[in-house]
Structure 1
Amino acid sequence: MPHSSTLHSAPTAAKSLQIGLWIAQVLIFVAFTVFGCMKFFMPIDHLAAMWVWPGDVPPRFLRLMGLIDIVGGAGILLPALTRILPRLTVLAALGCVLLQIVAFIFHSSRGELSALPLNAILLPVCLFILWGRGKKAPIIAPRG
């Protein structure tokens, strides 16, 4: 017979995982939508004063990166929160993981080492969401 603490630890662990995933999803939503809106809406000279690269890429590229960030951030949270096509959360997490890998390569190739800590934080959080919502604690769409 299992020990009583074993019986109670599984639900507690599952609840802790759910809480951790929701916190991660909200943090990624906020980070990606804030940075995305900055890239999409702010004047390029303002962005170039804050970050090195926006003045070095074509404006359409910068705006596209902003749009991708916004869509990724929304996709990480909204499908899971609304339970409308919640599988999109997993796809958004995969996209955000790939985006962080590409951003890491982009900034490294340009010698922009000051940008890498942010990517180094966002990447594992996105991987956690991808793993959690893809394998351990997926959000299930309501039936009917």
Structure 2
Amino acid sequence: MKKDIIIPEVEDVYVAIVLEHNSIYKTDDWNAYIINDKNVDLDVVLIVTSGYSKDKITATFRKQLDKLPAKSYAKIELMQEDLFALNNTFKVSFFEGNKMFDKTFLFRKNTVNIKALRPIPLMDVKGVLVK
């Protein structure tokens, strides 16, 4: 039965963690974003995030977006720098047309840092991207 279930591969959808200046609080904050680099809208986007290591596990965070327009992005959450010592997963499910897509994006521990910053697609910022 499982062999009959077809799960399409996710393409052109990414998760990025970027370092941004917060002009209100005069701080530099790490924020996680979901990026839709497709030419079509994504519907009912569900995001479940958590962090873990051998000794620790974070609380699970859930977010829903009714629609993520084509060639756009949306903020998922503010991330404390302490979390980067853990593996951080972002489980993303969405509908494109009548098909459901699902992918887990993993930021391995200690991979999010100032030295790892690169340009992020569709955004005029630098960060760490997982495809």
Q: Same fold (TM over 0.5)?
A: no
Q: Specify which structure has the higher proportion of helix.
A: 1
Larger Rg: 1
TM range (shorter): under 0.3
Structure with more contact order per residue of length (Cα contacts < 8 Å, sep ≥ 6): 2
